[in-house]
Amino acid sequence: MFKNILCDRSGRLTGYCYAPFIDVLTDDRQHRIMRGRRYPALPLTSTCSVVCQSYKKDNIRWTANLKERKTLPDFMPPLMPFAERLIIIMKNYDTFFRKFIVSSIIIVVLFFSVNLILFSMIILLPGFHRDDTDLQIEKISDGITGDNEHIVALPSVIEELHRANAFAMIIDNSGKIIWDIDKPRELPDSYTLKQISDFSKWFLDDYPVSTYEHPLGLLVIGYAKDSIVKYNLSLDKDYFTSFLSGCVLIFLINSFIMVLLFWRNTLKIKKSVTPILSSISAIGKNEDYVLPEEGEFAEICKSLNRVNQQVNQKELVRAEWISGISHDTRTPLSVMLGYAKSLADDPTLPANARKRADIISRHCIRLRDLIADLNVSSKLEYSLQPVKQTNINLAELLRVIVGFYYNEFPDSKYTFGINIDENCYSATFCGDESLLTRMFENIIQNSILHNADGCNITLDLIRNKYNQFKVTITDNGCGLAEDFIEKLNSSEELPFSDFGSLEAEHGLGLRLVKQIAKAHSISIRFSNKERSGLIVELYFTPQD
């Protein structure tokens, strides 16, 4: 993507123009580069001034010494292509999206941290008063057998005590130690009842101990100092039940707060981004829009509004150009058509010459109709032509149109028929009579123009079960391509660009038909007949 105006190694200005125009002033002359053109290879001069006219008509000037080949400052032309400009602007909003992501991460981390602490308390609380060595002491107790004279411990018991770096001893009812393994020397050989009561709950000279009832006395298992922390915790049952209920309630509240915060962030993003996405969609549909230029996406909104203004201005210029062409060609076409008809009707001319004049006359009429269709289509697209609302008798309108074509093609290969249901003789619809006439004529003219070998064209008017007036126009000609019928039946309006390849086949007539139908809220459907031919169905909803 172009960002700089550069001077190459030979001292020539290089680059690409995105602005409406750029004036390059050298010592000997001025060079104007229009938008979409590359800068020319300028001669090596002492200085070079570059003036870029921006969108707001203010001039920004840069000057570079071509001999020293300095690089001019970076700039982003205001009329850079929309996609590239949008990418540049979006890069400036990385901070916004980072803030959203970071805030979401903080919410998740906070939620899991609080609930992790809560669950840890729930899990560890019962363990504060539970002796984790109960099962081990029971196994050790079972492995110690004998009587007061001779006590023996199984090798597995001795091995387990060594592995745990622990000692064991048995105290009889008098408080005397009658058996021990690896008892520390600083511990006494006998204990009073008070001492036994104290260390059974806490520590024995800083040694954490566990006690277990043995047939020969009290079995005491001691562990290394500072290896176990013991707490004597007692809780009221009702209080503990309330505590657990509170933990569940806190978890639910935290979950609700997390969902609420996520929902708030999502709504905030949606509120900011939805208008932008809608405007981008409107660009593709040629719809007008105005975005509020505020908030964290203010720059993007300004850019999109500028694009909308440029597109509207461009489309308005195109509509005015089409209208001007239509107006300027009206008189020459009338002159050509008048002379061609007079030559075609001149009996003094040879038959071959009259035939050629008739061909010229028919093509002049075709050109006149095409220009008229283009003009009306352009005005409808940009709402430059108001739709007059008058009560129209559909049956009478169809009779007039069929009568015109019947008189226009007497005794020819084209035949016309009309069938009107008896309950539709007074069918009334509110709309623009001239536009509706052009709509029907374009459908009929499409069948005539693209069936050179002739065809039968029939118009039917009935009232369906939904109280709608249904007009069906059918012919037994060649029909339309299936892909083109899909485009015609789609809800989107056919753009002018689609008719670059379709003009040779169907021109602007059917495009104008869809536009007029849309302006009158008429449902229209195109389809091919099973064997050959085209069916066009139009549904008119009468107003109450």
- Cβ neighbours of residue 407 closer than 8 Å, sequence gap 6 or more: none
Q: Is residue 355 left, alpha or beta, with left meaning phi > 0 and alpha meaning psi from -120 to 50?
A: alpha
- pLDDT value for 8: 39
Beta bridge partners of 350: none
378-386 CB contacts, 8 Å cutoff, 24+ apart:
378/318, 378/319, 378/322, 378/323, 379/319, 379/323, 380/512, 380/515, 380/516, 380/519, 381/286, 381/315, 381/319, 381/493, 381/515, 382/315, 382/316, 382/319, 384/319
Q: Quick check: 482 and 504 in contact, CB under 8 A?
A: no
Task: Name which CATH class applies to 386-540.
Answer: alpha beta
> Which regions in the chain score pLDDT beneath 70?
1-98, 100, 122-135, 229-235, 284-286, 296, 382-385, 411, 491-507, 544
Q: Quick check: 212 and 169 in contact, CB under 8 A?
A: no
Q: Quick check: 536 and 524 in contact, CB under 8 A?
A: yes
SS3 at position 192: coil
Please state the domain extents for the chain. 6-78, 131-222, 312-379, 386-540
From CA 514, how far away is CA 494, in angstroms rounded?
8
Lay out the sheet containing 217-222: strands in order across: 177-181, 167-171, 217-222, 207-214, 203-204
State how beta strands 455-463 and 414-420 pair.
Answer: parallel
The DSSP code for 413 is: S
From CA 432, how far away is CA 387, in angstroms rounded?
6
The secondary element (H helix, E strand) that includes residue 390 is: strand 390-393
Here the tokens at position 153 are 């411990």
- pLDDT value for 495: 54
- pLDDT value for 214: 86
Per-residue 3-state assignment (H helix, E strand, C coil) for 479-508: CCCHHHHHHHHCCCCCCHHHHHHHCCCCCC
The total of other beta-carbon atoms located within 10 Å of residue 37's CB is: 12
Give the helix ranges, DSSP H, for 125-169: 134-142, 155-163
Q: Quick check: 168 and 221 in contact, CB under 8 A?
A: yes
| pLDDT tens per residue, range 443-464 | 998 898 888 888 999 999 999 8
- Cβ neighbours of residue 110 closer than 8 Å, sequence gap 6 or more: none
- pLDDT value for 406: 86
SS3 at position 13: strand
pTM, entire model: 0.46
- pLDDT value for 16: 42
